[in-house]
Amino acid sequence: MNVRLVLLVVFLVIPLTEIYLLIEVGGIIGAIPTIFLVVFTAVFGALLIRQQGVSTMLRARQEIHQGMVPAMQMLEGAALLVSGALLLTPGFLTDTLGFVLLVPPLRRFLILKLLGGAVPPSMTPFDPDGPASGSGEQRTIEGEFKRDDD
């Protein structure tokens, strides 16, 4: 993807679209309700981000205790960070995108789409010292090695 095109969209197209939408909505419902709506979406979004963040953190902690790598939860945390930035940015387009990232199934779908269909290893046990997920079974890893003396 062309970096200049992305920068053009981020710094020119999105702000101009936001200004246009604010003017249009302000013309329909008035200036004060528009300002209230923008502030309300920011506050409501911040509350939702907090709740979703705590939920994601608890799921990550649970996977760590089960000996799993919380890859999806880490990616969801990054998506929540982006969502928070979008919700705190005044405007209706960024708020819509921010709220879309707050819906867990949509967030996971977008993460998987961004990864190109690759599934993060959140379902694979991770225990470098031995038993897989506390089952008491020892894992044997076969391989060959060659020692190179300097």
Cα 109 to Cα 19, 28, 58, 59, distances in angstroms: 30, 35, 20, 18
Q: Is a pLDDT exceeding 90 seen at residue 137?
A: no
Residue with tokens 């710094």: 11
In the structure encoding, which two tokens stand for residue 137, read together? Answer: 């079974």
**Banded pLDDT at 136 (limits 50, 70, 90):** low
Q: Which of 39-43, 55-59, 68-72, 132-136 has the lowest mean pLDDT?
A: 132-136
pTM over 0.75: no
User: Is pLDDT larger for residue 119 or for residue 39?
Assistant: 39
